[in-house]
Structure 1
C-alpha cells in the first residue's frame, strides 16, 4: 500500500465490521492509508475506533452497499480525507438453503448485497479511482468455482463477481486495475457455530492442514492494491490453503 500512502488516497472497505473486511481495514491503515469502513453492522464503529487507537486514520459509515444512497455517504466520508484510490468490495450476506427452499426475497437480497453492491460501489468511486490510477479488489469465494450444498444464491453471486472482475479490468484498464480474491476456509465469525470436529475435518481438506486467518487474506488484498502488483489485473486468486486443489483418494 506504499503508493496509496504516498499520494494520500483513501481506501474504502465494505463489510468492514469484522472478519476479512476488518483485517483488510487494519492492514491498510497500518500501511499508512486513510480508511473508510462501511457496514450495516453497528460494530463497524468499534472497528474504526480500534484502528484510530492504534494510530491509524479511519472513519466508520453505517451503510447498506445495496442502497445507492449509502454510497453517497461513503464517498462523502472518504473525501474528508482525500480521493478514493482503493475500493475493497467485501460485503456479503448468505442464507443456507437448497434452491427449492430459497425464497425469492432471499435470492434477491443476496444478489443485491453481494453482486449489485459491488456494481454500485464501482460506480460511486469510479471517477476517483480512474483519476488516481487506483485499484479495486473484490472478495469472491471458492464457492465461485466449486459446488457445495445449500448455497445456490451465494455461489451465483460469487461466480458473478469473478466475471465482473474480468469485465471491469478490460473496461477500465490501463487506468484502473481490478482483481479478485477467493477465500476458502478462513476463521471468521461464520465458523462460530461449527463444531470442533467439523473444523478439524475442514482443515484436513486443505493442503496447509489448517484454517486460514483473516489477516492472511488481507495480506493478499494489500499486495493486489499496491504498486507491487502493477502488472496484475483481471485475476482471481484463491486464498484457501490449497483447499481448491486438495483431493483425498485411497
Structure 2
C-alpha cells in the first residue's frame, strides 16, 4: 500500500532522501520545511511531489499545509516527522529561549504533526507514522542537553502513540547515529574520521541509508511492527573502546 506521505525537514539531508526514496516507491510525497528551497527539491521529484514552506512548531502552519496537501495530493496516510534544530551548548550556558525552541521544533512539532494528520491516518487503516529520533536519546554526549532530551522524548512518544491508536495507525521510530549531513560540515576531516572510527563499520552513514529504514517501517513489509525503535548507526552504539 502506498498513499500520500508528508515528510518534515525535507529540504535536505534525511528528509530529502526519504522523499526521494518514497517517491521512487510510488508514494505521493509532500515535503515540508521552513527553507523555501523545499519547493525546488519537490519540483525535482516529479508530478507526485509538492513542496510546502512552514514551521513545524506552528499549529497554524500545520493546518494550512495539511489542508493544501489533502487538496493537492490526497489525505495524508503516512507521516515522517524529521524536522530538527540543535544548539550545541552546555546547559549552564544555554538560554531558556534556546531550550524552548529546541523542544518546540524537535518534540512539540511531532505532537502538532500527528494531531493534525490523525484524521487521514486513522481513515487509512492503517496509517503509518515514522518518527526520527537519534542515538542521542540513549547515550550521554557533551553539549547537547536539549537535543538529547527531545530525542529521548520522541522514543517515549512513539510507544505511547502506538498503544493509543492500536491497529488503526502504526507508529515507529528510527534512531540514526553518525550520518553525514550538513550538520557535519562545521567539523574538520580529522574530527569526522574519528567519529567514523567509532562505528563498527568504520564509516559515517548516508541519508539514503536512513531513508531506506524509514521506507521499510512505513511500508507494507513492516505490517506487524509498531511501537519499535530501529537504530541506524553502523554499530556505533554497540562498540566501545577500553584499554
Work out whether the TM-score is over 0.5.
yes
Quick one: which of 179, 184, 187 aligns to 1:191? 184
| SS of match in other structure, 1:174 | helix
Question: 1: distance between equivalents of 2:165 and 2:38?
Answer: 31
Q: Is the 8 A contact 1:166 1:235 kept in 2?
A: yes
Quick one: which of 31, 34, 43 aligns to 1:37? 31
Post-superposition CA distance 1:109-142 (Å, at most 9, x none): 0000000000000010001101101110000000
Per the normalisation by structure 2, the TM-score is 0.98
CA deviation after TM superposition for structure 1 residue 77, in Å: 2.4
Query: Hey, what does 2:172 align to over in structure 1?
Result: 179
Query: Hey, what does 1:19 align to over in structure 2?
Result: 13
Quick one: which of 144, 150, 156 aligns to 2:149? 156
Q: Is the 8 A contact 1:187 1:211 kept in 2?
A: yes
| SS of match in other structure, 2:175 | strand
| SS of match in other structure, 1:136 | strand
Residues 1-250 of structure 1: pairs in structure 2 closer than 5 A: 3-4=1-2, 9-52=3-46, 57-79=48-70, 80-132=72-124, 133-250=126-243
Q: Is the 8 A contact 1:59 1:77 kept in 2?
A: no
CA deviation after TM superposition for structure 1 residue 73, in Å: 2.1
CA deviation after TM superposition for structure 1 residue 219, in Å: 0.2
Q: Note the residue ranges of structure 2 that are not aligned, 5 or more in a row.
A: none
Q: Is the 8 A contact 1:61 1:73 kept in 2?
A: no
| SS of match in other structure, 2:23 | helix
| SS of match in other structure, 2:77 | strand
RMSD across aligned positions (CA): 0.8
Question: 1: distance between equivalents of 2:30 and 2:111?
Answer: 18
Give aligned pairs, total: 241
CA deviation after TM superposition for structure 1 residue 70, in Å: 0.7
Q: Is the 8 A contact 1:211 1:241 kept in 2?
A: yes
CA deviation after TM superposition for structure 1 residue 57, in Å: 1.1
Question: 2: distance between equivalents of 1:99 and 1:241?
Answer: 29
Per the normalisation by structure 1, the TM-score is 0.95
Post-superposition CA distance 1:200-234 (Å, at most 9, x none): 10000001110000000000000000111011100
Post-superposition CA distance 1:11-59 (Å, at most 9, x none): 000000000000000001111111110000121112112212xxx5111
CA deviation after TM superposition for structure 1 residue 168, in Å: 0.1
Q: Note the residue ranges of structure 1 that are not aligned, 5 or more in a row.
A: none
